[in-house]
Amino acid sequence: MSSLEFYRALLIWPAKLLMVFIFPIVKFSHMQTNLVRKFKTLTLICLGTSFAGVIYQLISEQHLDYNSVMVGCPLGLVFGLLELFVFPKAERRFRQWPFTRIFIFKTLLYTAIIYIVALSLAFLAGLFKGRDINELAGFLMSKEPWILVLYTLVVYSLLIFFLQIHYLLGEGILWKFIRGKYHKPREEERIFMFLDMKSSTTIAEHLGHVHFYRLLNELFHEISEPVLQTKAEIYQYVGDEVVLTWEVKDGLANSNCLKAFFMFQESLLRNRQNYQKDFGVKPEFKAGLHFGKVISAQIGDLKREIVYNGDVLNTAARIQDECNKYGRDCLVSGILMHRLKEMNGFQWEKVDTVTLRGKETEVELFSVMSTHPTSS
């Protein structure tokens, strides 16, 4: 085997190993989009830590073999499982912790995990090579495991940094910045949903500003799962309103742009007793959806973001305003309705043809209802 082939095998091996286990599971259980996304991220993390293992061995031992991947991949696997699958289960508790406490907790936890993994791998390698148990004690007393711990903590810190930037910007936005997709203004077609809380002013007056903020925070966390499963992007939070957007193919596929609203609505119904207990309210939302062309661009210097400009946003906001007038939860423009060719479990009803505030042309409005409502 040539050196080039050896290095390629060294980097490709962990990906192949993960795929052997991941794809049969995906096929067997028909995993949801969110779970598939997490496994893809886990694969990238393992590839990253395997590469970090290669760098570590080249620096510390001046040679390269499969041991670098045998150490790097398990460390990445443990990190990824914790960050992507375990910690999100305790998200409610972590949300109440200050940053310093989370930082100290994760540092101590990861230090222990790295040391245990390194010790276990050293023990297994020693048994495989026929070494004496006393040699393991010598390894424990040396500085080598602690150098590995510090090096891996630095790698973990970089991974956490990129994950946090990813969460801060929103799903898929970091990659768009890296690729420079919106470095120059471009015209594209997108679907937009304006999602607004009903009776928000009354609720805010009843709860007070601090408790109302806590309620909004809970609700905005509630919408995360529908967003991920329907391939939506959270464009903006505006007070108690959320603006979601889809690339056309993602929003139309399986009526994802509609499913996001009804998945969120069903989640609110399931948890309404918890909201009643914690806040004394049962929150409800209304939505307006429209489709059309926008100009997309990256703007700003000190703070950069991707913005969308176009009449489609104003129209979607006006459609959402009409929900109160017609007493409907979800209104969709006729233009978008005609692009959604399959019903996919939804019932349509034409409500009216109106001239929206600030507009000259008429817009058809359709009410959408799920054929599988969740019982309250």
Dist CA 339 CA 189 (whole Å): 12
Same structural domain, 314 and 191:
yes
Same structural domain, 227 and 83:
no
Could you tell me if residue 358 is left (phi over 0), alpha (psi between -120 and 50 degrees) or otherwise beta? Answer: left
pLDDT at 182: 66
Are 267 and 229 in contact by the 8 Å Cβ rule? The answer is: no
Are 260 and 232 in contact by the 8 Å Cβ rule? The answer is: yes
Are 51 and 72 in contact by the 8 Å Cβ rule? The answer is: yes
Report how many domains make up the chain: 2
Same structural domain, 20 and 151:
yes
Residue 290 CA, chain-centre distance (Å), reads 24
The residue among 169, 195, 213 that closes a domain is 169
In a domain, 145, yes or no: yes
Dist CA 254 CA 262 (whole Å): 13
Same structural domain, 246 and 145:
no
Same structural domain, 363 and 272:
yes
CATH number of 350's domain: 3.30.70.1230
Residue 110 CA, chain-centre distance (Å), reads 23
Same structural domain, 53 and 189:
no
Element (DSSP H or E) covering residue 349: strand 346-354
* Assigned token pair, 102: 């989370």
3-class DSSP state of 96 = coil
Dist CA 80 CA 286 (whole Å): 36
Same structural domain, 344 and 213:
yes
pLDDT at 26: 39
Q: pLDDT tens track of the chain, all 376 residues?
A: 444 454 444 444 444 544 444 444 433 333 456 677 788 888 988 999 999 988 988 888 777 877 788 888 888 898 889 888 888 877 767 767 776 787 788 888 888 888 888 778 777 777 776 666 666 666 667 787 788 888 888 888 888 877 777 766 666 667 776 776 667 888 999 999 999 999 999 999 999 989 999 999 899 988 988 998 898 999 999 889 999 999 999 999 989 999 999 999 999 999 999 999 999 999 999 999 999 999 988 777 767 778 899 999 999 999 999 999 999 999 999 999 989 866 677 888 999 988 887 777 889 999 998 876 544 4
Same structural domain, 213 and 250:
yes
In a domain, 174, yes or no: no
The residue among 105, 134, 169 that closes a domain is 169
Same structural domain, 91 and 219:
no
pLDDT at 287: 97
Same structural domain, 144 and 251:
no
In a domain, 151, yes or no: yes
Terminal alpha carbon distance of the chain: 65
In a domain, 376, yes or no: no
Range of the domain at 292: 181-370
Same structural domain, 163 and 190:
no
In a domain, 295, yes or no: yes
pLDDT at 17: 47
In a domain, 249, yes or no: yes
List the helix and strand counts (H, then E) for the chain: 16, 8
pLDDT at 281: 94
The residue among 169, 193, 217 that closes a domain is 169
